[in-house]
Amino acid sequence: MSPSVLLVTVAFNSSSVMNDFLKSIEVGTSHEHEVVVVDNASSDLDTLREIVARHPSVRLHELAQNHGYGGGMNAGVKFAGSSSDYILVANPDVSFLPGSIDTLIDSAEHTPSGGAFGPAILNADGTLYPSARELPSLRTGIGHALFGRAWPENPWTRGYRVPVSAADGQRHAGWLSGACVLIRTGAFEQLSGFDTSYFMYFEDVDLGERLTAHGWSNVYLPEAQVMHSGAHSTSQSPTSMGQAHHDSAYRYLSRRYSGPHLALLRGVLRLGLYLRRRWLTRKH
């Protein structure tokens, strides 16, 4: 039988991009699929309802409060009650290029050890977003945080992002961007989905690390391509999202370096991330 896929997207004031997202699914796959849109208590919910109503095969799951990205995705999977072979989670500001979903599924069918499969994600200007990265260590995390904006080609950022090109072949990664990733349903269920303690950011890093810990691999597949128009929801509230990003970064690193003898290190990390957040959001 042909494998089936459940597509879940989380909306937060995303009505302006939702119709294009839903239309692109039809060119992205010929496989049996179902689609769930999860609304995270948006102010444009009435408009979103109208858009979803134009797509009879799409179901809308309305949440009374904002559960964040991972929490919204988990809620959507539970709401679907699906027995699909794969779960594709994607931002609503993604557009699938022809056959992109089918390419991911075909690779998954031939790679039984793979738990997650990520496409090449193209920015709106056609450049390649570094969506397949290594897990951040303390050294690379500090170097990237300090120099990532002022000195983009610094060795810590390059080591973390691992330069990729569309010409590269399939390879393993530490984690794959949650902007668009196909996850084997069995692996997703084994991990109980995303860790909802991450409201926004790092839930995909955490998922990639936990998949690896459970014996699954994260597979980057550049021949599958999607377009990503940008951080649609997060750009609406840069200050609060900046705080969420740094909170999640601390949560992730503090768990990786959790020993009692590392308490001072965690304190330095917390202070450093707080100061970095204040500096980056000073204009807002």
Give the model's pLDDT for residue 144.
54
Per the structure block, which two tokens stand in for 168?
Answer: 């590269």
CA distance 197 to 21: 27
Confidence of residue 234 (pLDDT cuts 50, 70, 90): low
CA distance 20 to 10: 15
Give the percent of the chain with pLDDT over 90.
64
Give the model's pLDDT for residue 73.
98
Confidence of residue 94 (pLDDT cuts 50, 70, 90): very high
Per the structure block, which two tokens stand in for 78?
Answer: 């539970």
Give the model's pLDDT for residue 156.
53
Element (H, E) at 46: helix 45-53
Give the model's pLDDT for residue 251.
77
Which fold does the domain 5-230 belong to in CATH? Spore Coat Polysaccharide Biosynthesis Protein SpsA; Chain A (3.90.550)
Q: Which residues contact 65 (CB under 8 A, 6 or more apart)?
A: 40, 41
Confidence of residue 166 (pLDDT cuts 50, 70, 90): very low
Give the percent of the chain with pLDDT over 70.
75
Confidence of residue 82 (pLDDT cuts 50, 70, 90): confident
Phi, psi of 153 (to 5 degrees): -95, 15
Q: What is the mean pLDDT of residues 46-67?
A: 97
pLDDT at 81 over 80: yes
Confidence of residue 253 (pLDDT cuts 50, 70, 90): confident
Of 59, 72, 78, 77, the C-alpha closest to 5 is 77
β partners of residue 87: 6, 183
Taking residue 135's Cβ as centre, other Cβ atoms within 10 Å add up to: 18
Per the structure block, which two tokens stand in for 65?
Answer: 């409060």
Does the model's pTM come out above 0.85? Answer: no
Q: Look at 103-107, 138-142, 205-209, 260-264 and tell me which has the smallest mean pLDDT.
A: 138-142
Confidence of residue 255 (pLDDT cuts 50, 70, 90): confident
Confidence of residue 267 (pLDDT cuts 50, 70, 90): low
